[in-house]
Amino acid sequence: MAHVEAPTFGSIILAGALLKLGGAGILRFMYLFDFDLLRYYVCGYSIIFLSFSTLVCCVQSDFKRLIAYSSVNHIIALLPLFLINTVSSDYTATLLIVLHGLSSPLLFFLVGLVYELFSTRQLVLLRGLCTVSPLLTLAMTFGFFFNIRAPPFPSFIPEVLFFAVSVGLSPYFVPSLLFFALLSIVYNLN
């Protein structure tokens, strides 16, 4: 995975700019194609892959790898939104791109800072970080609260819109989406 092998600045640029340019490009050219036949298959595949990638995030022990898979998880959520191709799905995709463009580089910066200070990215070794560096712990807490998809935080709005738009496509997506939401809160609280 490019995020894990790249230096911190490379991960910040990749997560903050390059992935967003790809999403914006797909959003701009989506109107040129007609995906009626493949829409349900690709949406079903992306929902299953979304749940699987969320499971992978739950078992990560490397801090940078966790953030990289979580970034991939956010980007996978764009595919059903692009395929639904309505005004509300485009608005939700744009909101998701903007908020992910702010939260992901912040998290990669904090991981790089932690790695420079403590020479480890293993989550189990960083558990006592609050006693060693309370200011860094506060900054990391702010970064993860910005990323977590729970009610008082900014990422909650595109999450609710994502559920509403995806359920509008097919009510069969509800169990997978609920599983995805529960596991995304689990790995963010990890």
What does the longest C-alpha to C-alpha distance in the chain come to?
56
Domain boundaries, the chain: 9-28+37-185
Please report the pLDDT score of residue 4 as a whole number: 64
Exposed, middle or buried: residue 42 (CB in 10 Å: 0-12, 13-18, 19+)?
middle
Q: What pTM, to 2 d.p., does this model score?
A: 0.82
- Classify residue 161 as left (phi > 0), alpha (psi -120 to 50) or beta: alpha
Tokens of 96: 């998701």
**Closest of 44, 24, 126 to residue 84, by C-alpha:** 44
The string of pLDDT tens digits covering residues 137-168 is: 888 888 877 777 777 778 788 888 888 887 77
Task: Measure the CA–CA gap between 78 and 89, rounded to whole angstroms.
Answer: 9
| Cα separation, 17 vs 13, whole angstroms | 5
The model's pLDDT over 80-131, given as tens digits with 9 standing for 90+, comes to 787 777 888 888 888 888 888 888 888 888 888 888 888 777 777 777 776 7
- State how far the Cα of 166 lies from the Cα of 20, in Å rounded to an integer: 21
